[in-house]
Amino acid sequence: MKNEIVVLITGCSTGIGRGLCKILFDKGYTVVATARNVEDLKDLPASLKLLLDVTQKESINAAINEVISRFNKIDILVNNAGSSIRGALEEITVKSAQSMFDVNVFGIINMIQVVVPEMRKKHSGKIINIGSISGKFVQPINGAYCASKYAVEALSDALRLELNSYNIQVTVIEPGPIKTNFFKTLVNNSSDLMSNPNSCYFRFYESDARNRKKQKLANPKEAAKAISDIIFKKRLNSRYKVAVPFAYSMITHFPDSLKEYLMKKRHL
């Protein structure tokens, strides 16, 4: 049976976004799947598939206008599109960090500025921002990415306060490490930097590579299922951890000195 709730999801090419589309569509929701390359969505079940680049206002406006013309509303926005780079802050390029922030941070703001006015017309809506457990504690050579996800936490908290009187709920999802193309893309984006044996941070890069090989990654389908259950709660909490290893979850509660001690020991 078709559900009239319209859900727009960014970054549906792979991983959580793709899994979430499948789950919600199978449940009968009106799912709008979007990606920078719409060809990546050809085998994905969805009510509507659109090209949408969260860093380009023209692309966003065109996509949202199409959704509104088809369905007359957007009930739920899932800001899932994300990017990452890795490397010591001394060595990463500012350009690469800016490109990542354009997606992870300013991309969310871009989407909010176009979608919120539509939600306000209906005096209801939900905004689900996909952050990361890395927005709760920092790891060496991952500082730029962590900073972008800390920003998602702050944006979500501010937005929740700003939209409260309009009955628009906001939450941030904090996934742990997920088995998706995300890490493959990360390595591709940072391989030259992190494979340089002459870098004074090379021991960090070697340690990081070892740790990622040993790291247990959660199934993206399970993460998407957990997020789908959260989305349709009547009242959303401010944040939710999803597929987070117990040790990572515990670290978020430790004092700063203990967090730093553990991170130093991990990368010896």
Mean predicted confidence (pLDDT) in 48-70: 98
Domain residue limits, the chain: 6-266
Question: Does residue 220 register a pLDDT over 90?
Answer: no
Question: Does residue 1 register a pLDDT over 50?
Answer: no
Run of H or E including 165: none
pLDDT of residue 162: 98
User: How far apart (Å, rounded) are the C-alpha atoms in residues 43 and 186?
Assistant: 24
Question: Does residue 268 register a pLDDT over 70?
Answer: no
Mean pLDDT score of the chain: 92
- In the chain, which residue ranges form alpha helices assigned H by DSSP? 15-26, 57-71, 94-104, 106-122, 143-163, 182-194, 202-214, 220-231, 246-251, 256-266
Question: pTM of the predicted model, to two decimals?
Answer: 0.93
User: How far apart (Å, rounded) are the C-alpha atoms in residues 42 and 149?
Assistant: 30
Catalytic residue (one of 145, 150, 201, 205): 145
Give 162's contacts (C-beta < 8 A, 6+ positions apart). Answer: none
Residue range 153-184, pLDDT digits in tens: 999 999 999 999 999 999 999 999 887 765 55
List the strands of the sheet with 6-9, edge to edge. 48-51, 30-35, 6-9, 76-79, 125-130, 168-175, 239-242
User: How far apart (Å, rounded) are the C-alpha atoms in residues 189 and 209?
Assistant: 14
Is 86:141 a contact under the CB 8 Å cutoff?
yes
Higher per-residue pLDDT: 67 or 193: 67
pLDDT of residue 217: 83
Beta bridge partners of 32: 8, 48
Residue range 95-154, pLDDT digits in tens: 999 999 999 999 999 999 999 999 999 999 999 999 999 999 999 999 999 999 999 999
Extract the runs of DSSP E, i.e. beta strands, from 88-163: 125-130
Run of H or E including 199: none
Question: Does residue 185 register a pLDDT over 80?
Answer: no
Cβ atoms within 10 Å, residue 259: 17
Run of H or E including 14: none
Give 55's contacts (C-beta < 8 A, 6+ positions apart). Answer: 102, 103, 106, 107, 110
Does domain 6-266 fall under CATH 3.40.50.720? My reply is yes
Mean predicted confidence (pLDDT) in 5-13: 97
Mean predicted confidence (pLDDT) in 237-261: 93
Is 109:155 a contact under the CB 8 Å cutoff?
yes
> What single letter denotes the amino acid at residue 231?
I
Mean predicted confidence (pLDDT) in 193-203: 88
> Which tokens hold the place of 151?
């920003």
State the Cα angle at 220 between 158 and 193, rounded to 5°. 75
Confidence class for position 187, pLDDT limits 50, 70, 90: low
29 annotated active-site = no
User: How far apart (Å, rounded) are the C-alpha atoms in residues 222 and 227?
Assistant: 9
